[in-house]
Structures are given as C-alpha cells and as structure tokens.
Amino acid sequence: MSDCLIGMLSLREVSIVVSSRFEQFGAFTYRLKVCRQLNIVLRCLMKRQCVCRCKFQCYCLIELSCPCVVSEFVGEGFHIGLVAK
C-alpha cells in the first residue's frame, strides 16, 4: 500500500470526504466539500511519484484523481482516513 501525503496551504476548514472509490488500475477519486478557499498539493509516494496540484473555491465539489492507494490525508492538525469501497 502506497502512502499519500496531502499538504494544505491557507487551510481554514474542510467539511467532509463525500466519497472515495476505486477506479480502473487502482485509481481513487476524491470528492471534497470545501468551506474555504485553499490550495492542495497531493503527493503520492510510489514507484513513480505523481503530484497533483489543485485550487479550490468556496463550497465547491471537486475531484482529485490519483493512481495510488491512499492511506490518509495529512493536513494541518487533522487526519482523514480513506477506505476503498
């Protein structure tokens, strides 16, 4: 299982993880409801590193696609565990 680290800049509040599901080739799709504008850097530590950078606006539903298995989100003072269904 690969570990993924998520770094959040200008973090104020993140609501919930709406869903995380398997896609082809073991990719995940994350839907987050964001209450404040923030910048997210998703970094996957795998054989081949992949870095996803996204900017989020207030109260937007966004999707992050990353071809790896995520163990947890590591932010500023909180951890969100993701389980594949």
Please report which confidence band the pLDDT of residue 84 belongs to, taking 50, 70 and 90 as the band edges. Answer: very low
pLDDT in the model for residue 81: 35
Predicted TM-score (pTM) of the model is: 0.18
What pLDDT, on the 0 to 100 scale, is given for residue 63? Answer: 42
CB 27 within 8 A of CB 55: no
Each as own residue / partner, the long-range contacts of residues 11-15 (CB below 8 Å, 24 or more positions apart, any chain) are 11/36, 11/38, 11/75, 11/76, 12/36, 12/38, 14/38, 14/75, 14/78, 14/80
Q: Tell me: the pLDDT tens digits for 36-82?
A: 333 444 444 333 444 444 444 433 333 444 433 333 444 332 333 33
39 alpha carbon, distance to own chain's centre:
11
Q: What is the pLDDT of residue 82?
A: 36
